[in-house]
Amino acid sequence: MPITVNDLSYQYTDAAHSTTALSHVTFTIEEGSFFAIAGHTGSGKTTLVQHLNGLIPCTEGTITVDGHSLADKKERSIARALVGMVFQYPEYQLFAETVFDDIAFGPKNLKLPENDVKERVLKSMELVGLDPEQFREKSPFELSGGEKRRAALAGVLAMQPKYLVLDEPMAGLDPIGRQSILALLERLRSEFGTTIIMISHSMEDIARHATMLLVLDHGQIAYLDRPEIVFEHAEELFRLGLSVPQATYLGMLLKQKGFDVPKSANNAEALARWLKEKIDHA
C-alpha cells in the first residue's frame, strides 16, 4: 500500500502573523518508487516531508501510510515506524559514546533482543560502508564528515523503515560522496524494496534516479509527473528558480535545430547513447 496525502494544508503561526507553508497538497507515493521533491527555498519541501511521519501534526487534510492514518493516535505509531527520516546534515544527530551505541539507539527503543539489535547495527554499518571492526568502538565525533553522515544514516536504516525520507542527503558532500549515497539508495530499492523519498536541488540526480518528481511553489504543487515530463517545462522551472539537467537543456537546443530528441534522453548517459545511435546510422 502507498503513502497518500490528501488536501494537506499547513500554516506557521506566531503572535504577529501566520504564513501558509502548504496549501491543498494531494499526491500518492507508490511502494518501491524513487519519489523526488524539488522547489525553491521556502516552497514547503521540508514542511511537507516532516508531515510524512508525524513530526508535524496533520491539522488540515489527511495522510495515510499503508492505510494507517497519522490523525489516529494508535495508527500513528504504526505509521511512524514505517517511515525513516534523514534530516539535512544528519551528522548533527550523533550523540552516543560509540558509533555502535549511536546506531543501536533506535533498535533498543523497540525493545528488541540484544542479539537482534547487534545484528541490525552490524548490517546497517555494512550497508553504508562502515567496517564494523574498524568503526564500532570509535566515537562518532572522531569520524570524518562523510563517515558521520554514513553513521547517522545507518542509525535510521537500523530501524528497517519501509519508506526512507531524506532532506538533501548529499548537501556538502564531494562528487564521490554524492555518488556513494545515491548508489546506496538504489541498492536499498533494488535489494530491500525500500521506497525512497528525497528532497534535492540537483536535477541531474533526479533525472538519473527518480521515478516521480513533485515540484512545489509557495506551498502548492506546480508539477507532479515523471521527471522527463516535468523537464519539458524548462522555462517555467527557470521562473521558479530551478534548473533542468544539462542534457535536457542540450536536448532543447538540438530540438530547436530540428533534431527529434526523445524525452528519455534527459541525462548525460542517455543523451550520449542517443547521439551515438544517430551517428552510427548517419
- Least confidently predicted of 45-54, 211-220, 255-264: 255-264
Residue of 164, 161, 140, 142 lying closest to 91 (CA atoms): 140
Decide if 196 contacts 166 (C-beta within 8 A): yes
Residue 15: the pLDDT is 66
Residue 279: the pLDDT is 83
In the chain, the percentage of residues whose pLDDT exceeds 90 is 65
Computed over every residue of the chain, the mean pLDDT equals 91
Residues 6+ positions from 236 with CB-CB distance below 8 Å = 222
Residue of 56, 55, 70 lying closest to 3 (CA atoms): 70
The mean pLDDT value for 23-37 works out to 97
* pLDDT tens per residue, range 94-148: 889 999 999 999 999 888 999 999 999 999 999 999 999 999 999 999 998 888 8
Place of cell 524539488: 38
Residue 21: the pLDDT is 94
In single-letter form, the type of residue at position 93 comes to Q
Q: What share of the chain is helix, strand, coil (3-state, %, to 5)?
A: 45, 20, 30
pLDDT confidence bin for 22, thresholds 50/70/90: very high
Tell me the whole-structure pTM to 2 decimals.
Answer: 0.90
Residue 256: the pLDDT is 85
Decide if 212 contacts 224 (C-beta within 8 A): yes
Q: Which long-range contacts (CB under 8 A, 24 or more apart) does 173-181 make?
A: 173/146, 173/149, 174/146, 177/146, 177/149, 178/202, 178/205, 180/129, 180/146, 181/149, 181/153
Decide if 152 contacts 91 (C-beta within 8 A): yes
* pLDDT exceeds cutoff 90 at 18: no
pLDDT confidence bin for 33, thresholds 50/70/90: very high
CA dist 170 and 149 (Å) reads 9
* pLDDT exceeds cutoff 90 at 59: no
The mean pLDDT value for 64-91 works out to 91
Residue 17 has a CB neighbour count (10 Å cut-off) of 8
* pLDDT tens per residue, range 150-184: 899 999 999 999 999 999 988 888 888 888 889 99
Q: Which domains does the chain show, CATH number per domain?
A: 1-88+168-238 (3.40.50.300), 90-160 (no CATH), 245-282 (no CATH)
What is the phi-psi region of residue 252: left when phi exceeds 0, alpha when psi lies from -120 to 50, beta otherwise? Answer: alpha
More confident residue, 204 or 216: 216
- Identify the H or E element spanning 134: helix 132-135
DSSP characters over 110-129: TT--HHHHHHHHHHHHHHTT
